[in-house]
């Protein structure tokens, strides 16, 4: 667990020419055999930067900024999602108090509309969250770190599946079903389709968190941040265990309150990691800005 491999420096041969297989970090142009020092013939980036290993500070600044905007978007979407869930809970308690005096009929109509609006808002926050993950797992331009590719791709696949399933589920629940049958007496197939879509969405979000944490571990090596690497390594197993334990505890009577707190604890743990990632990527971006001097990125 202690090993943190240093990025390999690529050897340059005696004639000071770029060795085989080296591509430009900015545009991916094959730099093989070009003389040093010099610029990339395609985009003008100094060739030296492409020989400096996998550290993010030597990659394309636009790429690092894209990663940072992904991390920030995930954090913001989590906060917005939290606000919606709290508003929903408060409204569910308060609405009947206001509606009871007016009699059942109108109240049910208002409640139906309210539930539907809340459903679409949750979908919006969910899609923003998934778009954040999609951005955070953008492919590195130019040279691709081969051992990090699998988890990066798995993160993207899980985000895409979760997005498709959540959209289908929301469309189904708040657009199609009310059109076909109204809200009362839904047919069994509707229930099972809902449940199926929900379970696939849930499984892909779980998969996204696991693959995402492993992807972030790779990214942490390229910052480099030992602290972030450890944080992601802990969350990759602890949070799923917490969630599964919380899910099971809901089934029992005495431990049910643990089932409520488990997702909150997991969300806080994930949030602190992504927030820190955003800060560390900001430090890398600052380091790359030529006018700002060169303070080293935060090392935890």
Residues lying near Zn ion in the complex (CB under 5 A): 24, 26-27, 29, 40, 42-43, 45
Written as six digits, the tokens of 220 are 């942490």
**Helices (H) and strands (E) in the chain — how many of each?**
8, 0
Nearest approach, Cβ of residue 47 and Zn ion (Å): 9
CB-wise, 49 or 153, nearer to Zn ion? 49
Nearest approach, Cβ of residue 285 and Zn ion (Å): 20
CA distances from 77 to 82, 102, 187, 231, 300 (A): 8, 36, 34, 21, 26
292 vs 285: CA distance, rounded Å:
10
CB-wise, 45 or 135, nearer to Zn ion? 45
CB-wise, 39 or 178, nearer to Zn ion? 39
Nearest approach, Cβ of residue 29 and Zn ion (Å): 5
The answer to whether the Cα torsion of 216, 235, 264, 206 is positive or negative is: positive
Nearest approach, Cβ of residue 195 and Zn ion (Å): 50
15 vs 20: CA distance, rounded Å:
14
Nearest approach, Cβ of residue 22 and Zn ion (Å): 11
> What does the H/E/C string look like for 37-85?
CCECCCCCCEHHHHCCCCCHHHCCHHHHHHHHHHHHHHHHHHHHHHHHH
Nearest approach, Cβ of residue 271 and Zn ion (Å): 36
177 vs 65: CA distance, rounded Å:
42
CB-wise, 33 or 292, nearer to Zn ion? 33
CB-wise, 10 or 43, nearer to Zn ion? 43
268 vs 271: CA distance, rounded Å:
5
CB-wise, 46 or 236, nearer to Zn ion? 46
């Amino acid at each position: 667990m202690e090993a943190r491999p240093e990025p390999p420096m690529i050897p340059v041969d005696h004639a000071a020419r770029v060795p085989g297989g080296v591509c430009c970090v900015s545009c991916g142009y094959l730099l093989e055999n070009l003389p040093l020092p010099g610029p990339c013939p395609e985009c003008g980036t100094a060739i030296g930067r492409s020989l400096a290993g996998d550290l993010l500070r030597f990659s394309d600044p636009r790429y690092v900024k894209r990663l940072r905007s992904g991390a920030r978007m995930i954090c913001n979407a989590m906060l917005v999602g939290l606000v919606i869930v709290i508003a929903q809970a408060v409204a569910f308690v308060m609405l009947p108090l206001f509606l009871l005096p007016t009699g059942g009929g109108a109240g049910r109509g208002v409640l139906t509309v309210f539930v539907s609006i809340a459903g679409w808002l949750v979908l919006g926050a969910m899609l923003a969250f998934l778009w954040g993950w999609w951005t955070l797992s953008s492919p590195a331009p130019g040279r691709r770190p081969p051992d990090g590719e699998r988890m990066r791709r798995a993160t993207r696949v899980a985000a895409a599946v979760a997005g498709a399933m959540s959209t289908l589920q929301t469309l189904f629940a708040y657009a199609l079903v009310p059109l076909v049958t109204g809200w009362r007496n839904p047919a069994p197939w509707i229930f099972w389709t809902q449940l199926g879509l929900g379970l696939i969405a849930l499984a892909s979000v779980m998969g996204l968190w696991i693959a995402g944490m492993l992807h972030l571990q790779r990214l942490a090596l390229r910052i480099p941040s030992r602290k972030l690497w450890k944080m992601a390594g802990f969350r990759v197993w602890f949070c799923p265990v917490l969630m599964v334990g919380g899910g099971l505890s809901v089934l029992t009577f005495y431990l049910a309150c643990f089932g409520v707190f488990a997702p909150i604890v997991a969300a806080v743990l994930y949030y602190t990691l992504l927030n820190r990632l955003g800060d560390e990527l900001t430090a890398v971006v600052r380091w790359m800005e030529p006018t700002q001097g060169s303070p080293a990125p935060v090392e935890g």
